[in-house]
Amino acid sequence: MNKTIKTLLGATMLVATGTGAYAADTTLTIATVNNGDMIRMQGLTEDFTKANPGIALEWVTLEENVLRQRVTQDVATKGGQFDIMTIGTYEVPIWGKQGWLVSLNDLPKSYDVDDLLPAIRGGLTVDGELYAAPFYGESSMVMYRKDLMEKAGMEMPEAPSWHAIRRAAALMTDKDEGIYGICLRGKAGWGENMAFLTATANSFGARWFDEDWNPQFDSPEWKEALTFYIDMMNAYGPPGASSNGFNENLALFQQGKCGMWIDATVAASFVTNPDDSTVADKVGFALAPDNGLGKRGNWLWAWSLAIPAGTDDEDAAKKFVAWATSKDYLALVAENEGWANVPPGTRTSLYENEEYAKVPFAKMTLDSINSADPTAPTVDPVPYTGVQFVAIPEFQGIATAVGQQFSAALAGTTDVDTALANAQSLATREMKRGGYLK
């Protein structure tokens, strides 16, 4: 063989094999998302590794959508790249049914599984088997500027109606001063505008499917919900709202440009943090609005730790999952980072703690979580579970396409009737393809 080629190949192999090795008996690879609570956990894992010297931890932190694609691909192909995965309440029921996850019913008694909030636990359980342990739970709620409400001569009810929200938005809007009464998600995506709009539609009596899986976008309830949202956003929302997701609205709210923002409860810790928010001491909280039909427009989500079936280190993985979602871990965070930084929304005992009760958004977060029921999310009966999603594999694709239609309606490039007709048509087509409809 040519000497040069030999040299090139040799150099390639040489550089390709230069890696480090690990001394621990077991190395757990944990796939996780990049958010404050998860990053905090990475900083506190010494507590776990000290107690379990034979277990080393490797973190793979990815953006939420990349992580979802990455872990789905790995669990579906049994790639075995991860020993623990961070997944949400959408994936758990689907993957649990597929047999892709290890049951956590045998966690030690000291774990106190009965202490988990019932709504959250219910979303992670399939046929009596707990398939993931909640790391933190979230719902959605109204965050509003108390000073602007006062200036408008209004008082925010603890459980407002959509009518009250619209009225407050009208009174708070001062476009000359760059203040918009309401900031809501408009960016297309099943986890972006469709999370908000599905939960909102629930409170208007709408639903994704009837009991025979027929799409319901042609119903008057959907038309009422979407028309209300678009009219309110056009009148009192910020310009370019069809491009706004969580982060864009967070930036607007922190800069004092939103009178109200209805979004994830996890945002409360950001908007009340004086280091980042210019309105930190002026924020009030209220339950997500309703329309007098018995359902509020709030969602329910829990980032949870699950173990893929077929992992080589199931016992070690269970030890870590039990540690990271335990009462002791919550106490550890409180000791190191303060009560305001404790992962919220997973355990009843946390909300019975007097110290935690002093956190300004604690009660509202719990009330919001408790007011969402993933097993009966809508006014009329439905064949699915999930509040802001439908726990079927086809949902991601359908909801992303529907989200594009609704985002276009908000941007004004189409109208509500056309957007709903298109949504109905594409949802029907996909449900037929999926075998739900004949």
Binding interface with other proteins (CB under 8 A):
2, 4-5, 8-9, 11-13, 15-20, 29, 31, 33-36, 39, 42-43, 58-66, 69-70, 73, 77-82, 191-192, 245-247, 250-251, 254-255, 257, 264, 266-267, 270, 275-278
Query: Least distance to other proteins from the beta carbon of 395, Å?
Result: 18
Q: Rounded CA gap, 385 and 376, in Å? A: 7
Pick the closer one to other proteins by CB: 40 or 327: 40
Q: Rounded CA gap, 430 and 273, in Å? A: 44
Query: Least distance to other proteins from the beta carbon of 275, Å?
Result: 7
Pick the closer one to other proteins by CB: 79 or 220: 79
Pick the closer one to other proteins by CB: 7 or 418: 7
The per-residue b/e assignment along 168-189, b for 16 or more CB within 10 angstroms, e otherwise, is bbebbbeeeeebbbbbbbbbbb
Query: Least distance to other proteins from the beta carbon of 8, Å?
Result: 4
Pick the closer one to other proteins by CB: 31 or 241: 31
Q: Rounded CA gap, 405 and 399, in Å? A: 10
Collect all residues with Cβ–Cβ distance below 8 Å to 400 and sequence separation of at least 6: 188, 189, 190, 194
Pick the closer one to other proteins by CB: 12 or 349: 12
Query: Least distance to other proteins from the beta carbon of 336, Å?
Result: 15
- Sheet strands (E) in 74-209: 84-87, 125-126, 129-130, 133-145, 180-183
| 3-state DSSP of 302-350 | EEEEECECCCCCHHHHHHHHHHHCCHHHHHHHHHHHCHHHCCCCCEHHH
- 285 phi/psi in degrees, rounded to 5: -130, 145
Q: Which residue has the tokens 């208007």?
A: 204
DSSP 3-state percent helix, strand, coil across the chain (nearest 5): 45, 15, 35
Pick the closer one to other proteins by CB: 185 or 318: 185
**Cβ contact 420:226 at 8 Å:** yes
Query: Least distance to other proteins from the beta carbon of 196, Å?
Result: 13
Query: Least distance to other proteins from the beta carbon of 73, Å?
Result: 6
Query: Least distance to other proteins from the beta carbon of 220, Å?
Result: 33
